[in-house]
Amino acid sequence: MTTGSAKVRVRFAPAPTGTLHVGGARTALFNYLYARKAGGTLVLRSEDTDTARSSADSETVIQDDLHWLGLDWDEGPDVGGPFAPYRQTDRRERYALAAARLLELEKAYPCYCTPQELDAERVAAEAKGLPPRYSGKCRTLTAAQRSDLERAGRKPALRFAMPDRDVYVEDLIRGSVHFPAGTIGDFVVVKSEGLPTYNLAAVVDDSEMAITHVIRGDEHLPNTPRQVVLYEALGLAQPLFAHVSMILAPDHQKLSKRHGATAVAEYREQGYLPGALLNYLALLGWSPGDDRETFSLAELVDAFSLERVAKSPAVFDHGKLRWFNAHYVRRLPDAERIALVAQWSAREPRIAALPEFNQPHWRALLDRTLTEHVHTLSELPKEAAAIFDDGFAIDPASADALDPPAARAMLDELAQIAESKLDMSAEWTAAVSRDALSALGARHGIKGRALFRPIRVALTGSEHGHELPLLMPLLGPSRCAARIRRVLAGKDRPPSD
């Protein structure tokens, strides 16, 4: 943005055939970062030329996912812009113009082959050990033959006449990539239904939308020589290319549903924070060059550069994503975190039904008790439910904590204290503070582990759990009293409900 060179214009161009996946999200992120860093423009373009699989619904779903992540764009099907329309099915005339030009230049020709014929050809070629490329047989059709086929009702596709020469793709991430002459067959640029294929549409749009940098997934690299040749045939200036490596599953296969969540929406539903996902994704295939690990979006914009994008594919590690999320949850502003913890805990109806659920003080306690123990927000209902399960059984390994007479006497007094203050007042909180509990123990001649272990076992059935000075105010006096009474009564035979 400080140079006099052409303003950076990049685009994220998903096919609206489903939801936004993590790979697409990372591509979108890199485009976003590059645009923002350069003070350029990010274009969102809907590549919906596969009419069978595309849907308007998917288009909005993907936009929603991008918005949830906190990514925005400057031009697109929803916001418009100087190069509208931004949906490929709304741009048919432009592709038709390009196709007509190709035909006129005799750089493309109609192909009347049926899918079955092409299939048979491919099978035959493979049987002979030849590359399964299109033979180019329609290239030499005479005008008479064409009109015959035409009259027979055949709808032709338009094929590009691949020039017989080497093609070089200059890639910002990979360097110069060489595709030898003869390795690419005549490819279809316009389908028989009249819509362009990806390669033609992308070239026409990237050119007309003045895209300066095409940052996209690695899987498009083999398409790029076809696009390069199209740019040349149409006399159009090429953008710069940058192909980002794929995200792989732990088994090094293509990431798919069978490896767990792949859609951004699934992470949202599982209680991941957008900043955590973004941060994790940014570090897959890119690194700042120093030891920093956590970045806000603004910090990413500041640190990002294409030069630091890795060439090798990256394996998606759910465990590390979880760590990022836990990290982000703990660093949320208090008010925001408390609200989120309450919101997610309320998915457990018994928690939402608690009379104290709406008290701000109680919600803060719930937050402090649970936050350190979860990686994702979706773990909260279960965590919270566990705390409020009054019917717990005593862990046999810990039952001995209830044996000493001094412990029983101490618990009995604690129950009395609880019974005398049957509200959630500050008095109760004070009564179970660390100091107050120590004083209680002193009256019965016990302290430390001998004091806290029986309390914890009586209250939760286990000697492992949350902090007592948090847990007891959270449970409230009457619930604590009831638990202690129940355990004291059934001590010899641990309750089994």
Partner RNA sequence: GCCCCCAUCGUCUAGAGGCCUAGGACACCGCCCUUUCACGGCGGCGACGGGGAUUCGAAUUCCCCUGGGGGUACCA
Of residues 423 through 442, those in contact with RNA by CB under 7 A are 434
Nearer to RNA, 7 or 155 (CB): 155
Using the rule CB under 7 A, is 386 a contact of RNA? no
Of residues 307 through 346, those in contact with RNA by CB under 7 A are 308, 310-315, 317, 319-320, 323, 326-327, 330
Using the rule CB under 7 A, is 115 a contact of RNA? yes
Report the alpha-carbon distance of residue 149 to residue 114 in Å, rounded: 11
Handedness of CA 411, 412, 415, 421 (dihedral sign): negative
Using the rule CB under 7 A, is 260 a contact of RNA? no
Using the rule CB under 7 A, is 37 a contact of RNA? no
Phi, psi angles (nearest 5°) of residue 274: -55, -40
Residue 481, amino acid: A
Using the rule CB under 7 A, is 469 a contact of RNA? yes
Report the alpha-carbon distance of residue 152 to residue 148 in Å, rounded: 6
Using the rule CB under 7 A, is 95 a contact of RNA? no
Contact 69, 30 (CB under 8 A): no
Q: Answer yes or no: 311 catalytic.
A: no
> Which residue in 4, 5, 6, 129 binds RNA (CB under 7 A)?
129
Using the rule CB under 7 A, is 27 a contact of RNA? no
Q: What single string gives the DSSP state of each residue in 33-96?
A: HHHHHHT-EEEE-B----TTT--HHHHHHHHHHHHHHT---SBBTTTB-TT---BGGG-HHHHH
Instruction: Point out which residues pair with 458 in neighbouring strands.
Output: none
Report the alpha-carbon distance of residue 136 to residue 373 in Å, rounded: 64
Using the rule CB under 7 A, is 466 a contact of RNA? yes
Using the rule CB under 7 A, is 480 a contact of RNA? no
Residue 482, amino acid: A
- The least distance separating RNA from the CB of residue 486, rounded to whole angstroms, comes to 20
- The least distance separating RNA from the CB of residue 248, rounded to whole angstroms, comes to 6
Burial of 237 (0-12, 13-18, 19+ CB in 10 A): exposed
> Which residue in 18, 50, 103, 146 binds RNA (CB under 7 A)?
50
Of residues 391 through 430, those in contact with RNA by CB under 7 A are none
> Which residue in 101, 133, 486, 491 binds RNA (CB under 7 A)?
133
Report the alpha-carbon distance of residue 76 to residue 79 in Å, rounded: 5
**Choosing from 7, 155, 257, 320, which is the catalytic residue?**
257
Residue 43, amino acid: V
> Which residue in 84, 96, 103, 118 binds RNA (CB under 7 A)?
118
Name the residues annotated as catalytic. 257
